[in-house]
Amino acid sequence: MAVAERSAGSPTRPAARPSWLSRTLGGLAIIRRSRTAMVGAVLVGWWIIAALFADSCIISPQCWVQGSQKAEATPWIARYSPFEQFRGQTNKPPSWEHWLGTDRQGRDLWARVIHGSRTILTLAPISVLLALAIGGVLGLMAGYFGGLVDEITMRFLDTLLAFPQILLYLVIIAALGPSALNVVLAIVIAGAPGIARLVRSLTLDVKTRDYIAAAKTRGESPWYIMFVEILPNAKGPIIIDAMLRVGYAVFSIGTLGFLGLGLPPPSPDWGSIVNAGRKFILAGHPWDALWGSLATASLVVGLNLLADGVSEEMNRYR
């Protein structure tokens, strides 16, 4: 009886929050349970490994976007520098010396495609994260406060959504000039409105729950309720949408590079590789356009498969 009384009288400890490691392992377990997600993870993982270990730039991240002609290529991945020109080796087909052939300036296409993955995997996630931050805040404010705040915010975002996305890219970069920063800015401006609409719809649903009413009763501030109570309970669809948007950003960066509005030469951008190689397709040298297109397609497909697989598993156990 005494033991029972002590147990009843002892305070109950709050449940410990899962650690970062346990949450990470839980996310990996979701991927392992889905074959679709595993295929996507393999494709994306290959390009991440290629981007990290293409050359000595891994210890000097500031040269990731523009590339560095001083970085030493790793012989077991890129083999050559993407800027190195081989005399008498222009527009060569694949061979043992140059696995994917060479371009019109005698540069190794394998090295340029591998280094191009670094550009894509740097700019695309940064663009989506910035769009997620801006669109997420705007969507939370519009959905939670409603009224005039909702009306003004959503009408402004609807104005941006009225423009075709590629036209919006062209207007922004034509006005500011082609550069890595302006590519990111264009993708953020074009992507934030869609994210805001998603977050707003989720906020309108979550804010009617009982725990939101309890938080208001406790006197919590609106910002606390939005970022501590609403956002964590709406993160599932937001994460899936962000994963898909990284794939869209990859395709957008490739499109801008193809149109000559991406990174300036001699950056090994996949879109510019395709654009430069398309002129030689009818001349019997399709390799530039082929490898650049396959690289873009494989990464976009991998990201989409990963997002679809994770979404299916999350919905299955909801």
Domain ranges of the chain: 117-316
User: Residues 19-78: pLDDT tens digits?
Assistant: 555 655 666 677 778 888 899 999 999 999 888 887 766 655 555 544 455 555 665 677
Q: What is the residue-averaged pLDDT of the chain?
A: 83
**Inter-residue contact 202 to 238 (CB < 8 Å):** yes
The pLDDT of residue 8: 41
Beta bridge partners of 108: 102
Q: For residues 20 and 223, which has the higher predicted lDDT (pLDDT)? A: 223
The pLDDT of residue 274: 92
The pLDDT of residue 24: 58
The pLDDT of residue 69: 52
> Of the ranges 23-32, 60-69, 188-197, 243-252, which one carries the lowest mean pLDDT score?
60-69
pLDDT band at 14 (very low <50, low <70, confident <90, very high): very low
Q: What are phi and psi of 77, to 5 degrees?
A: -130, -70
The pLDDT of residue 23: 59
Q: How far apart are CA 281 and CA 272, in angstroms?
A: 15
Q: For residues 82 and 301, which has the higher predicted lDDT (pLDDT)? A: 301
- Check whether 10 has a pLDDT greater than 70: no
**Inter-residue contact 272 to 265 (CB < 8 Å):** yes
User: Residues 86-114: pLDDT tens digits?
Assistant: 888 888 888 888 889 998 888 999 989 99
User: Residues 258-283: pLDDT tens digits?
Assistant: 988 888 877 888 999 999 888 888 88
The pLDDT of residue 236: 85
Q: How far apart are CA 294 and CA 279, in angstroms?
A: 17
| Segment 119-141 mean pLDDT | 94
- Check whether 318 has a pLDDT greater than 70: no
| Segment 162-182 mean pLDDT | 87
| Segment 186-209 mean pLDDT | 94
Three-state SS for 32-95 is HHCHHHHHHHHHHHHHHHHHHHCEHHHHCHHHCCCCCCCCCECCCCCCCCCCCECCCCCCCCCC
The pLDDT of residue 202: 94
pLDDT band at 18 (very low <50, low <70, confident <90, very high): low
**Inter-residue contact 44 to 52 (CB < 8 Å):** no
**Inter-residue contact 111 to 81 (CB < 8 Å):** yes
Q: How far apart are CA 291 and CA 107, in angstroms?
A: 14
- Check whether 7 has a pLDDT greater than 70: no
The pLDDT of residue 71: 56
CATH superfamily of 117-316: MetI-like (1.10.3720.10)
The pLDDT of residue 37: 87
pLDDT band at 3 (very low <50, low <70, confident <90, very high): very low
